[in-house]
Amino acid sequence: MSKQKQLLLGFLIIFFSACEDDKSSDEILPEYGIISGEIIFTGTWPDSGDVLLTLNTQYPPTGPPADYMYIMSDSLSNDIYEYNFSDLTFRVYEAITVTYWPAGYGVGGSGSYQSIGIHNDSINVTQENHSHVINIDAVFD
């Protein structure tokens, strides 16, 4: 290869390398949102029944929750349960509720559930503000 071709090739490599986009400075936007936090339980955990954590798109809830999970007493550490709702659609969520459902609720129409903790301030999950930490106190009477 001639000296001129080598210089031209070297120049072109340097030129195109300098014109590359700097990908390291581009921010990668999230595709989903996250709401997480701690639920701090006080009072005596019941011997039976279920504790349910729900993420609601309306408050008071008028349909199925956007997400939910059952909380078991053996999942707590020092009366604290760490939760994580992930892969959430970008939107406004109106409430996170913690409810206790006694054994037999709904069987033959007996019993009623109790709200033991709630966060009912709107949570706006957006691509720019996709991660929220919300702690909730839940009290067994």
Condensed to tens digits (0 to 9), the pLDDT of residues 113-136 reads 899 999 999 999 999 999 999 999
What does the pLDDT read at residue 69?
A: 97
What the block records as the tokens of 136 is 């909730």
Residue 80 or 1, more confident: 80
60 φ/ψ angles, rounded to the nearest 5 degrees: -65, 155
Indicate yes or no: pTM above 0.85.
Answer: no
- How far apart CA 53 and CA 3 sit, in angstroms, is 73
Q: What is the mean pLDDT of residues 40-52?
A: 95
pLDDT at 72 over 60: yes
What does the pLDDT read at residue 2?
A: 66
Q: Which residues of 81-97 are buried (b: 16+ CB within 10 A; e: fewer)?
A: bebebeebeeeebbbbb
Residue 20 or 103, more confident: 103
2-29 pLDDT per residue, tens: 666 665 565 556 655 555 555 555 778 8
Indicate the domain borders of the chain: 33-139
Q: Which fold has domain 33-139?
A: Immunoglobulin-like (2.60.40)
Q: Using 50, 70 and 90 to split pLDDT, how confident is the model at 78?
A: very high
CA 47 to chain CA mean position, Å: 29
C-alpha separations of 20 from 15, 17, 29, 91 in Å: 9, 6, 21, 36
